Chain A
Amino acid sequence: MTIRDEDEREQLAAEYALGTLEGAEREAFARAIVADAGLAARVEFWSRLLAPLTEAAPAVDPPAALWNRIEAALTRPAAPTPATAGWWSSLVFWRPVGVVGALAALALALYLGLALPAAPTHVAVLNAEGSRQAVVVTLNAASGALTVRPLAPFAAPGDLELWIVPEAGAPPRSLGLIAADAAVARKVAAERLRGVGAGAALAVSLEPKGGSPTGLPTGPVLCSGPLLALAQP
């Protein structure tokens, strides 16, 4: 469904956000949003406009067993949402980067010809949906040699901090601040990399000047991606 009339688009977006559309009309509109970023933005506008209404809902304690159900479902990889299923679903919480991402990471790491003290054992491409920003990271897990290269400068109103999640569900550890517009190369202390496994991932968060004051990310995550082990020759 392509909706061209501006008023019609606005009204349907408002009604979809309010929830009054039904049947085939609702389904068709839901499909249209996926292909039409402008329409999706209008739905988001309306959702935000109406969101304060939720504050008037009374608080009701859910049954104690509900948390257990949720927790059990977390470890069942990607069962309820077929859209996210795939080989990467074992990474659970990371946006699927896919085979293309992994290959691109390799190609980039080689092509950029970074002057590395030791050949990397791991590589990651960090990105975010809806953004062209990408960061290429290489790591030698044995020596701790790390390189971080933003492919486009970040326009961020604070400092950028790099984090590693050694395995799914573990708390993140800081790998230090990175530059918004330049490649950096440094050594990471061995204890920061302890226990890095197949489900490891990296992320960049926006933090106050000087980095996170708590030792854990406090700001929004700007980009993220799985840390992929390179086959060793």
Chain B
Amino acid sequence: MAEPELAVETLIARTALGDRGAFQTLYRATAPRLFGLALLVVRRRDWAEDVMQEAFLAFWRRASDFRPERGSGLGWMATIVRNRAIDRLRREPRVAGEPDREAPDPAPDALSRLVQSDEARRLAGCLGELDEQPRRAIALAFYEGLSHSELAARVGAPLGTVKSWIRRGLMRLKACFEQTEGGR
């Protein structure tokens, strides 16, 4: 296929109309990023593959739900992949103490790579304004799919403390976000 590279959003629009070729191109263009994300969250190759299969079936069936005015195509897809990955973890929690295999870099480093889009830079700026503990808790939750109780075990703090870090952190994040954007 000598087609010029098409925007992810265009490929989603064509997928919504049932165009298989566009769907395959969409897969090729996005699969490495999305697989990396799934792997980061579930930390098992076989689970990450299941998550990808479920997510791509959802993209095929629900591509017409995508609204470009509400964000980027890749962002929409990544959110769905992450949600599926979390669902998977909540259905079948990781065995405690099980070593992380196959997983790419751990969460805290990931934040430093957040420089790609304007949106990402803005979010990174807001995360940077949080205290160390809430920031770390949010990053661990996001990238490793940890629940409240798993987080508490990981950082060795009481459950109530971890919950309040998360709540406080998220609400401050929102305030910062709305300040820089004027709200939405």
Contacts and interface: CB of A to CB of B under 8 A. Distances in A.
A94 B16 CA distance: 8
Contacts of B82: 19, 54
A98 to B, nearest CB: 16
A34 to B, nearest CB: 14
B90 A26 contact: yes
A224 B39 CA distance: 35
B18 A15 contact: no
A54 B52 contact: no
B138 A18 contact: yes
Contacts of A5: none
Nearest to B40: A57
Interface in A50-72: 50-63, 66-67, 69-71
Contacts of A232: none
Given A49-B177, A53-B142, A80 B54 contact: yes
A221 B141 contact: no
B147 A66 contact: no
Interface string B107-119: 0001101101101
Contacts of A60: 32, 35-36, 39, 104
B75 A52 contact: yes
Given A219-B13, A221-B16, A56 B53 contact: no
Given A47-B79, A49-B123, A58-B36, A18 B27 contact: no
Interface residues of B, number: 81
Contact of A205 (B13, B27, B119, B145): B13
B14 interface: yes
Interface in B127-152: 138, 141-143, 145-151
Range for the number of chain A residues in contact with chain B? 35 or more
A94 B61 CA distance: 7
Binding site secondary structure of chain B:
helix
Interface string B20-58: 111010010001110111011000000011001110111
The CB with the most chain B CB atoms within 10 A, among A47, A71, A74, A128, is that of: A47
B19 A15 contact: no
Contacts, number: 218
Binding site secondary structure of chain A:
mixed
The CB with the most chain A CB atoms within 10 A, among B24, B72, B142, B166, is that of: B142
Contacts of A169: 18-20
A109 interface: no
A156 B39 CA distance: 40
A81 B57 contact: yes
B170 A22 contact: no
The CB with the most chain B CB atoms within 10 A, among A55, A92, A94, A129, is that of: A55
A91 B24 CA distance: 19
B10 interface: yes
Contacts of B35: 59-62, 66
Nearest to A205: B13
Interface of A: 10-11, 14-15, 18-23, 26, 44-63, 66-67, 69-71, 73-74, 80-81, 84, 92-95, 128-129, 163, 165, 168-172, 201, 203, 205, 216-221, 224
27 contacts: A14-B167, A21-B148, A22-B90, A44-B70, A48-B70, A54-B79, A54-B82, A56-B113, A58-B36, A60-B104, A61-B35, A62-B52, A66-B52, A67-B24, A70-B56, A70-B57, A93-B18, A93-B61, A129-B65, A169-B18, A169-B19, A170-B19, A170-B20, A218-B10, A219-B68, A220-B13, A220-B66
Top 9 nearest A-B pairs by Cβ distance? A54-B78, A52-B120, A22-B147, A57-B37, A51-B75, A59-B32, A19-B86, A60-B36, A62-B35
